[in-house]
Structure 1
Amino acid sequence: MTDFDYGPIEFYAIGFEGDRPGPAVLQAIDDLVAAGTVNVLDLVFVRRSPEGELEILELSDTIESDVPSLDLEGLAGEEDILALADGLEPGTSAAILVIELLWAKAFASRLYEAGGAVIAREGVPAPIVNAFLAENAD
């Protein structure tokens, strides 16, 4: 079997009210890592001031305790961060998260061995899926 060092990765912008994340944000991420669902490769926080200015915050600038180790810190470049934070409203902030999908690592390896590869992918956010299903339930 072909063993990839990393599985597929995804970039997320996770928004929240206020100018910095609460401790529950990092705990939620830690819980996913501990469960073996994802591997955090890079994590950056951004906030938009009430005047509309965007500030990029390194992880170490946002928390006082130990900073989690990141496999590929710096993977989210400034261009990525700016694109993901484009819709951030004044007075809010977001975590820009680059994660490896651990469940998909073996899937990608098996597809590669079989001579295939994922060539396109579309995602639908969970709130939209659940709202649609709730509206269309019998």
Structure 2
Amino acid sequence: MTTFDYGPIEFYAVAFDGDRPGPAVLKAVDDLVAAGTVNVLDLVFARRSPEGELEILELSDTIDDGDVPPLDMAGLAGEDDIAELAAGLEPGTSAAIIVVELLWAKAFASALYDAGGAVIAREGVPAPIVNAFLAEHAD
């Protein structure tokens, strides 16, 4: 069986009011890593000034105590990726741009590859929409 060094990865842009997300965001990411759900390959923050300028902040720029957690591939999200993901960011808001390896899907990706299969489309639905829909259609 094929064994990949990495599983599938996903890029996320998660918007927040204000100029940067709070420490709870890093805690939530830490919890996912500790549970073995994801491996964080890159994490940067972007903020759009009230004037509309986009500023990119490295993780080390956002942590006050200088204790920056190690990332597997810091810099994987390039400036073009970040600009594209942050394109909808409103003035006065910020976003966490996170690149994660989906550890739960690593073995599945290997099995698909060995079987000659390939993922040809993938669609995500945000949790608030899923929960609202299911609550509306619950018996």
| TM-fit CA distance, 1:90 | 1.2
Match of 2:6 in 1: 6
Q: How far apart in 2 are the matches of 1:25 and 1:121?
A: 25
Q: How far apart in 2 are the matches of 1:54 and 1:37?
A: 31
Match of 2:42 in 1: 42
Match of 1:59 in 2: 59
Q: Secondary structure at 1:124's aligned position in 2?
A: coil
Q: How far apart in 1 are the matches of 2:120 and 2:7?
A: 15
Deviations 1:35-79 (A, max 9, x none): 000000001100111121111001111102311111111111111
Deviations 1:6-35 (A, max 9, x none): 000000011111111211110110010000
**Displaced runs of 4+ in structure 1, greater than 3 A?**
none
Q: How far apart in 2 are the matches of 1:132 and 1:87?
A: 25
Match of 1:29 in 2: 29
Match of 1:107 in 2: 108
TM-score between the two structures when normalised by the length of structure 1: 0.95
Q: How far apart in 1 are the matches of 2:116 and 2:125?
A: 27
Match of 2:127 in 1: 126
Q: Which stretch of the first structure deviates more once superposed, 97-106 or 20-29?
A: 20-29
| TM-fit CA distance, 1:95 | 0.4
Root-mean-square deviation (Å): 1.0
